[in-house]
Structure 1
Amino acid sequence: MNMIWLILISVSIVFAVFTGNLEPFTKAIFDGAKSAVETSLYLLGIVSVWMGITRILEDSGLIYRIAHAFQPIISRLFKNIPGDHPSITAITLNVLANLLGLGNAATPLGIKAMQELDTLNPDKGAVTFEMMIFVILNTASIQLIPFTVIGILAAFGAENPAEVVVPVLIATFISAATALIILFSFRKILK
């Protein structure tokens, strides 16, 4: 990947020099760097807020009530996980973060969920079916409210940044459902 970036940058510099656009090229590089830093800080704020909220939910015990509400759905998908296992809470937090479109905040929660799922794994280092289901849910990440996308669109001056809500919901639902159907189909075929 580093080689690809090196080639892209080198070709861009050569074209900028030969076309006489070195000054606009340099300005674009610095404007892009500034925009990247601003966007990163904005996203860091969103992640920090969500992580703070999840910490409050966890410390207050409310997350266990939310996990209990989601338990029938989670239990249907993850049939081999005991109902009181900590992975249920970790999976629930990850799903909630994804539902709210906070993919960056969902990452540490996803890592925690996989670690908890691995405690149930009799063959350490191998991927269990429950881990596969979780990877699909985490990757497809059905989003009711894509806060991160809305935030980025708002930061860049979109007139109606929330207009992406319905298309994102439809696309993420279809991708998650399709992936789960394929996974369960392969499991039946390979049994």
Structure 2
Amino acid sequence: MNYIWFLIILISIISAAVTGKIDALVQSVMSGAQKSIEVAIYLAGIMAFWLGIMKIAEKSGLVAAIARLLTPVAKKLFPDIPDGNPAVGDIAMNFTANAFGLSNAATPIGIEAMKKLQQLNKDKNSASNDMCTLLAMNTAGWQIVPTTVIAVLAASGSKNPTEIVFPTLIVTTIAFLSAIVGVKLLERIWPAQIPVNETEENADV
């Protein structure tokens, strides 16, 4: 990826030099750098607010309550997770963060959930069905309020940055349901295989 970005930058510089638009290139670089700082600061404030809300929800027991509420659904989507396993709580937090468009907050939570699923995974060299389901859910990214996108639009001067909420909800709902249906169908087509060494150990016992 670094090579691709370097190639794009190099082509831009050469094109500006050939067409005599070096001044325009320099101005564009400067204005772009300034705009990126403004957007970054704006996003930092938004993320700090929502991350704080998530932490309060965790400390107050709201996340645990959401986890209990989602347990029946989680058992259907993640049948290999034992009852009371903390992975359910991490998945609930990850799902909630994604639902509110907090992708930066959802990422570390999702990684922690994936680590716990890997601990439950019988085949350490392959992703389990539950791991694939979590990945599909995160890739689809169902969102109620696309907070990050709204923040970017507002920082970019949009007159009505919240007008994307309803269309985003429709699109992400379709994508989310499609991802779940797809991953569950693939589970049936290619069922998980028990590792050979584990089979041999069971045979010895």
TM range (shorter): over 0.9
Cα distance, 1:133 vs. partner? 0.4
Mind listing any 5+ residue stretches in structure 1 that lack a counterpart?
none
Cα distance, 1:76 vs. partner? 1.8
Cα distance, 1:72 vs. partner? 1.9
Q: Give the 5 Å matches for 1:74-93.
A: 74-93=74-93
Q: Is 2:169 aligned against 1:169? A: yes
Q: Which residue of 2 aligns with 1:117?
A: 117
Q: Which residue of 2 aligns with 1:16?
A: 16
Cα distance in structure 2, aligned partners of 1:116 and 1:103: 20
Q: Deviations over 1:91-121 (max 9, x none)?
A: 0000000111111111011011111112211
Number of matched pairs:
191
Cα distance, 1:185 vs. partner? 1.4
Deviates more, 1:152-161 or 1:63-72: 63-72
SS in 2 for 1:37: helix
- After superposition, the CA RMSD in angstroms is 1.5
Give the partner amino acid of 2:108.
P
Q: Give the 5 Å matches for 1:99-138.
A: 99-138=99-138
Q: Which residue of 2 aligns with 1:143?
A: 143
Amino-acid identity (%): 40
Q: Which residue of 1 aligns with 2:201?
A: none
Cα distance in structure 1, aligned partners of 2:98 and 2:141: 5
Q: Give the 5 Å matches for 1:9-48.
A: 9-48=9-48
Cα distance, 1:46 vs. partner? 2.5
Q: Deviations over 1:132-178 (max 9, x none)?
A: 00001111110011011111111111111111112211111111211
Mind listing any 5+ residue stretches in structure 2 that lack a counterpart?
192-205
Cα distance in structure 2, aligned partners of 1:83 and 1:151: 38
Larger radius of gyration: 2
Kept in 1, the 8 Å contact 2:39–2:156? The answer is no
Task: Calculate the TM-score normalised by the size of structure 2.
Answer: 0.87
SS in 2 for 1:57: helix
Task: Calculate the TM-score normalised by the size of structure 1.
Answer: 0.93
Q: Which residue of 2 aligns with 1:94?
A: 94
SS in 2 for 1:119: helix
